[in-house]
Amino acid sequence: MYTLRLYHDRFESNAVSKDLEAQHSIVYVLEGSISVGTQTLGKDSAAYFHDVMPMAAGAAGATVWRWELVRAADPNNLASGEGIVSHLRMSRHIRMFELVPTSKWLFKLDCIVDNEGSTGLHSHPGSGIRCLLSGDLTVVSEKGECSENEKPGDCWYEEGAYPLISTTRPGNKATFLRGMILPPEYSNYPDTAIWIEGKKTCKSDWKLYAQRIVTLK
């Protein structure tokens, strides 16, 4: 069994972490800048990495969110080192797929920008952990998880096979990241929602940060 995990890391100025080891990771920089191996990421940017990741913050430090796809038996992969505080924010088994070694999946981080209104009842062809950047969002599902997300960093899980409704408060907008596991053929689809019933009244924009077709070990 495989697990999707979300970590929030805070690096002080020029802090350097011990090597992080994970099969597949997507690193997003909320604030500051971070060097991961030979690649440097600035604010509001993200990239995919695999296996060993040495991480070093820039002069202004960094706030980093990491999505990792790993074996369920693997230990938590907290960033450690002087001037670093790391938290596991969420961990969920992906249940809607049979994730087995050598199988291929699309590991993707994108963003729903300025979502306003209600989605109506819908589902997705993949599962993932969302994380709020701004605004508020209420998620209601009869079979899946429900959540009230009101501040930056609030996170929630959507098992794509379970229908749900997402709604913002009147006059508000929500912007949130989506770290998702999908079948590989969805690499060319920005909107993966499958509308079930009810009128879609929400409006939003979309942004892709990183995606990679990965092979599980």
Residue by residue, pLDDT tens for the chain (217 residues) are 899 999 999 999 999 999 998 899 999 999 999 999 899 999 999 999 999 889 999 999 999 999 999 999 999 999 999 999 999 999 999 999 999 999 999 999 999 999 998 888 999 999 999 999 999 999 999 999 999 999 999 999 999 999 999 999 999 999 999 999 999 999 988 777 888 876 666 778 999 999 999 999 9
Tokens (6 digits) for 197? 């019933």
Quote the pLDDT of residue 26: 98
Q: For 216, how many CA atoms within 13 A lie in the half-sphere containing its CB?
A: 23
Contacts with 201 (C-beta within 8 Å, 6 or more apart), sequence order: 117, 118, 120
Distance CA(113)–CA(39), nearest Å, equals 26
At residue 203, the pLDDT reads 76
Side chain identity at 116, as an amino acid letter? E
Interatomic CA distance for residues 143 and 184, integer angstroms: 26
Task: Report the pLDDT value the prediction gives residue 201, as an integer from 0 to 100.
Answer: 66
Report the distance separating Cα 176 and Cα 113, nearest Å: 7
Which tokens sit at 203? 């409006």
Backbone angles phi, psi at 184, to 5 degrees: -55, -30
Exposure of 161 by Cβ count < 10 A (0-12 exposed, 13-18 middle, 19+ buried)?
middle
Distance of CA 12 to the CA centre of its chain: 23
Q: How far apart are CA 10 and CA 99, in angstroms?
A: 31
The strand pairing partners of 198, in sequence order, are none
Give the pLDDT of residue 197: 72
Helix, strand and coil percent figures for the chain, each rounded to 5: 0, 60, 35
Task: Find where tokens 């820039």 sit.
Answer: 58
pLDDT score of 195: 80
Residue 166 is predicted with a pLDDT of 94
Tell me the three state secondary structure of residue 159. Answer: coil
Q: In the structure encoding, which two tokens stand for residue 83, read together?
A: 């001037």
Dist. CA 66–CA 70, nearest whole Å: 12
